[in-house]
Amino acid sequence: MRALLPTGQAGALVVAGEAEEPVPEPGQALVKVEAFSLNRGELSRLRGAPRPGLRPGKDIAGLVVQGAADGSGPRTGQRVVAHPPHGGWAEYAAVGTDRLAVLPEGVDAVTAAALPLAGLTALRLLRTAGCLSGRSLLLTGASGGVGHYVTELAVAAGAEVTAVTATPERGARLAEFGARVVHRLADAQGPFHVVMESVGGASTAGALALLRPRGELIWFGQASREPAVLDFFRFFDGPRSAAVRHFHYEHTDASCAADLAALVRLVAEDRLHPVVGRLADWRETARALDDLGERRITGNAVLTIGA
């Protein structure tokens, strides 16, 4: 089968090639991939030294062509969204049925492919934050897929959201969702009950200073790749007794399949609107990865697999 393979070279992160078609285990379904999306975590790994034999691809949508042998999960012929641990940038992927959800009518593969990692992260971030009704939320690095999902869901839950983006263009959709958009952290009008920080470097300390006393900073990324340095005594300048929590979207007891089903249900009910900032044929993956790394894509980048 055709697949995108990591090269380990900075100038060409992936190349089209051939790989063996996966043979599903008893608790896995075989999915014919129609579309997949890119994420920054995979970009970072590709820019490093890829492990031999490890193929990227965590966010896919397509058609089940072989249901799981143990009878679990979606049946042959059902359309699904999936979040495999790897191997999704290919014509076929074997996916555990605990990482699959059936797509309702009206949710296409392109829309669904934009959901898994970014949508799961947003959903679980909001659960970590707890009830946000009537509370203020600051979101840094807000113009990616996670930021759009967090903003729309948090506003719908009654939060007052301030989103930090680099440019007005990157913040336009966030403003439509109901966020107050600023382009410098210094322009955010705190203090905030909750801060969701994903930039790193100076942004983390700056965001911490905008917390209310006993507020919480949820640290879920470091897109700048710059380490953050926090000064304990800065807590006394305002956010007394504030908490800093590290977040990883997979460190949870929640079911991946159930959360994917919740996300596609919200889309089907017109309550969640994935922002696909780049849609292209999968032969354009290398260029899309470069543009993602240079922040030239707002929302999600989705690639489709043609004939």
Q: What end-to-end distance do the CA atoms of the chain give, in Å?
A: 12
Mean pLDDT, residues 87-113: 97
Q: How confident is the model over 34-55, as pLDDT tens digits? A: 999 999 888 888 887 667 778 8
pTM: 0.94
Asked if residue 123 has pLDDT above 90, the reply is: yes
Instruction: State the pLDDT confidence band at 119, using cuts at 50, 70 and 90.
Output: very high
User: What distance in Å separates the CA atoms of residue 143 and residue 209, rounded to the nearest whole number?
Assistant: 22
Residue 126, pLDDT > 80, answer: yes
Query: What is the domain partition of the chain in residue ranges?
Result: 2-115+274-304, 119-246
pLDDT in tens, 54-70: 889 999 999 999 999 99
Q: How far is CA 140 from CA 54, 217, 270, in A?
A: 31, 11, 26
The span from the CA of 72 to the CA of 95, in Å, is 12
Looking at the chain, the whole-number percentage of residues with pLDDT higher than 70 is: 98
| Average pLDDT of the residues in 217-244 | 88
Position 251 scores a pLDDT of 86
Instruction: Compute the average pLDDT of residues 72-95.
Output: 97
Domain 119-246 superfamily per CATH: NAD(P)-binding Rossmann-like Domain (3.40.50.720)
Q: Is the model more confident about 252 or about 176?
A: 176
- Asked if the model's pLDDT at residue 26 lies above 90, the reply is yes
Asked if the bond preceding 191 is cis, omega within 30° of 0, the reply is: yes
pLDDT in tens, 156-207: 999 999 999 989 999 999 999 999 999 999 999 989 999 999 999 999 999 9
Question: Looking at residue 28, what is its pLDDT?
Answer: 98
Q: What is the pLDDT of residue 11?
A: 64
The CATH number fitting domain 2-115+274-304, selected from 3.40.710.10, 3.90.180.10, 1.10.287.130, 3.10.129.10: 3.90.180.10
Which phi and psi angles does 41 have, rounded to 5°? Answer: -60, -45
Burial per residue of 83-99, b for 16 or more beta-carbon CB atoms within 10 angstroms, e otherwise: bbeebbbbbbbbbbbeb
What is the Cα–Cα distance from 120 to 250, expressed in whole angstroms?
9
Average pLDDT over residues 96-115: 97
What's the half-sphere exposure (Cβ side, CA atoms, 13 Å) at 147? 31
pLDDT of residue 12: 73
**CA gap 139, 234 in Å, rounded:** 20
Beta partners for 33? Answer: 62
Compute the mean pLDDT over every residue in the chain, rounded to the nearest whole number: 93
Mean pLDDT value of segment 202-216: 94
